[in-house]
Amino acid sequence: MSTAATSLDLTAIRAQFPILQQPDPRGRPVIYLDNGASAQKPQRVIDKEIEVYSRHYANAYRGVYEFGQIVDDSVEATRQTVRDLIGAESQEEIVFTSGTTMSLNLVASCWGRHTLKPGDEILLTEMEHHANIVPWQMIAEQTGAVVRYIPLTSDYRLDLSDLPGLITERTKIVAVTGMSNVLGTLVDPRPLADAVHQVGGVLVVDAAQSILHQQHHVVNDGIDFLTFSGHKIYGPSGVGVLYGKREHLEAMPPFLGGGHMIERVFPDHSTWSPPPAKFEAGTLPIAQAIALKPAIEFVQELGYASIQAHEHDLLVKATEQLSEVPGLKIYGPGLDHKGAIVTFTLEGAHPQDLAFLLNKKGVCVRHGHHCTMPLHDKLGLTATVRASFGVYNTAEEVDQLTDALHYARKRLRLS
C-alpha cells in the first residue's frame, strides 16, 4: 500500500502502530478517524516509555546518580528535538507543560499579568477552541482588558480585510489557532505577526491541530508563543510544549510556584530560576517528555511535505465522496486552505446518532461541539460530526467512511 502523490509506504507506516494491527473490541479492523482528538502511538513511543520505567527511571533535575543523569539528558534531548522541529533559537525557550491547555493558560496568566491594563485588547478568532478562549476571558476579567474576535469570511477563512481596524494601538495580544479543529482552516501567522508587532503586541499560536500536519518555524513566522500537546503529534498524553521567545519568558512572572522553579527561597520571598525551569514547577511528566522525542522523530523522518501530500489526497477524496451523500453538508474552506479535517452534518440525523451508527461499521469519529461553542453558534448548529485524518489513514478508510454513511442513512430511513 502506497500513495500516488508521495513515496510514503503506508503499509510500513501502519506496521509501526500496534493499535492498528489488532481488531477493535468487537473484532473489527480499527478505522480511526479521530486524530483531531488524539493520535495513535507508534511502537517507538510506547517502547521509550517502557524503557524509562524499566531501565532508568528517576525524577528529572534532582539526582546526580546515573539514573538521574540519564533522565536529565533525555529530557534535554527532547527539548533539543522540539527546538529543531519549530525552529526556536534556543532550547531554553522550550517549556514542558501538561498540554496545550496548560500552555495557553500559562501564557494568558503570566504574559497577561505582565502586560495587560484596563482597555487593552486581546484579539482571538471566531474559530478558536475553548482552550484558546477561556483563559483569555479569565485574564481579561482580572485585568480589565477586552476580548475581541477576528471574524470569518463566508467561506470559513479569517477575514483580514480590515486588519488595521482589528489590530490597533490597544491590541496587546493576538492569539490564533494554527489550524481550526472543526473547519480545518489553516492560518498564515505572518501577516498577523507583522501587524501586532507594529503596535508592540505579541502573537500566540495554538498549534494543537496544526503541529500534526504542517511545519511551523517560530522565528521565520514571527511567533512569540507557540503551544502544542504531545498526544496529538503521535506522542504521549500528559506532556505538552510552550515555546516562548526568550525575552518574553525572562520578562514574565512564573505561573505555578514550587520545587525546581526557584533560585532561592527565603521565609518571606523567593527568587526564580531562569527559563525554562521558572515555568516548570514540580515534577515533570518525565517518561512522557522523554517519549515525545521519538514521536517528533517519526514525523521528521516522514517529512511534513510527504505527510501533507498524503493527507491532502485523503481530504480531496473524502470531500468528493461525502459531498455526494444526499443531505450531507461539509463546513470548511476550499481544499487549498484546509488541513485533513472533514466536519459535517447530515440532514435528518442527530450528530450523536450518526457517530453511533458509524461506529457500528467500526468507524471512529467525533461528534459534538468539539470545544468550539462560539463557532458552532455562528454556524447555527449545536453539534457536528468530524472525521480527522492522520498520516496512517488510507484511501480505503475513506471508502469505509462513505459506506458507513450510506449505511447510517438507511438505518435512519433517510433513503
CA-CA distance, 204 to 223, in Å (whole number)?
Answer: 6
Cβ atoms 364, 393 nearer than 8 A? no
What is the CB-side half-sphere exposure of residue 31 using CA atoms within 13 A? 22
Expressed in angstroms, the distance from the first to the final Cα of the chain is 34
Q: Which of 99, 184, 254, 362 binds ligand PLP (CB under 6 A)?
A: 99
Is there binding between residue 40 and ligand PLP (CB under 6 A)? no
Q: How far is the CB of 37 from ligand PLP (least distance, A)?
A: 6
Choices 3-11, 206-214, 249-257, 324-332; region in contact with ligand PLP by CB under 6 A:
206-214
Q: Which of 185, 229, 343, 394 binds ligand PLP (CB under 6 A)?
A: 229
Q: Which of 81, 115, 125, 177 binds ligand PLP (CB under 6 A)?
A: 177
Query: Which of residues 33 and 404 has its CB atom nearest to ligand PLP in the complex?
Result: 33
Query: Which of residues 209 and 393 has its CB atom nearest to ligand PLP in the complex?
Result: 209
Choices 39-47, 204-212, 384-392, 397-405; region in contact with ligand PLP by CB under 6 A:
204-212
Which H helix or E strand runs over 134?
helix 134-143
Degrees, nearest 5: CA angle 391-394-398: 120
Is there binding between residue 34 and ligand PLP (CB under 6 A)? no
Contacts with ligand PLP in 364-393 (CB under 6 A)?
none
Contacts with ligand PLP in 209-228 (CB under 6 A)?
209
Q: How far is the CB of 208 from ligand PLP (least distance, A)?
A: 3
Cβ atoms 328, 345 nearer than 8 A? yes
**Pairing state between β 240-244 and 202-206:** unpaired
Query: Which of residues 6 and 181 has its CB atom nearest to ligand PLP in the complex?
Result: 181
Q: How far is the CB of 360 from ligand PLP (least distance, A)?
A: 25
**Identified catalytic residue from 371, 385, 387, 404:** 371
Neighbours of 16 (CB within 10 A): 17
Is there binding between residue 206 and ligand PLP (CB under 6 A)? yes
CA-CA distance, 335 to 337, in Å (whole number)?
Answer: 5
| Cell triple for 255 | 505561573
Residue closest to 36 by CA, chosen among 176, 298, 211 = 211
Residue closest to 354 by CA, chosen among 327, 331, 333 = 327
Is there binding between residue 345 and ligand PLP (CB under 6 A)? no
Residue closest to 79 by CA, chosen among 189, 71, 64 = 71
Is there binding between residue 184 and ligand PLP (CB under 6 A)? no
Q: Binding residues for ligand PLP, how many (CB under 6 A)?
A: 12
Neighbours of 248 (CB within 10 A): 19
Q: Which of 6, 100, 115, 185 binds ligand PLP (CB under 6 A)?
A: 100
Cβ-proximal residues to 24 (8 Å cutoff; 6+ apart), any chain: 30, 362
Decide if 371 is catalytic: yes
**Per-position x/- string for 131-150, each x denoting binding to ligand PLP as judged by CB under 6 A, each - no binding:** xx------------------
Catalytically active residues are 371
Question: Where do contacts with ligand PLP occur on this chain (CB under 6 A)?
Answer: 99-101, 129, 131-132, 177, 181, 206, 208-209, 229
